[in-house]
Amino acid sequence: MKNTDSSLDRLLRSAGQCHPPVVEEAPYGFATRAAAAWLAGASPRELPGLETLWFRRSLFCALALMAASIGWSIRADTAAANDDMAIASYATTADLQ
């Protein structure tokens, strides 16, 4: 225990003697130049045609997949209510609750 305490004391003493790091500020006007360069270069009309095509195609596929899954869910919910499997499933679910 004493060995650990002495090691900890040495570590804390060494940490207390170190100097804080010097933080240099950015040159005058750097933030303004960076913001202006970002605004000048970021235009959605400048996207290359291939990237725009792939984005639109992936968006269309995602929408089609979403519509298909919604249709599938609605179709499953509107199944015949007098179906024997539906009645058995409902009875099992009601018993579990």
Per-residue pLDDT of the chain (97 residues; tens, 9 = 90+): 567 788 888 888 888 888 888 888 888 888 888 888 878 775 555 556 777 788 889 999 999 999 999 988 887 666 555 677 777 777 777 766 5
Kindly report whether the global pTM for this prediction surpasses the value 0.85. Answer: no
9, 74, 96 from 45: Cα distances, Å: 62, 39, 57
Under a CB-based contact definition with an 8 Å cutoff, are residues 39 and 46 in contact? Answer: no
72: nearest Cα among 60, 64, 61: 64
| SS3 at position 9 | helix
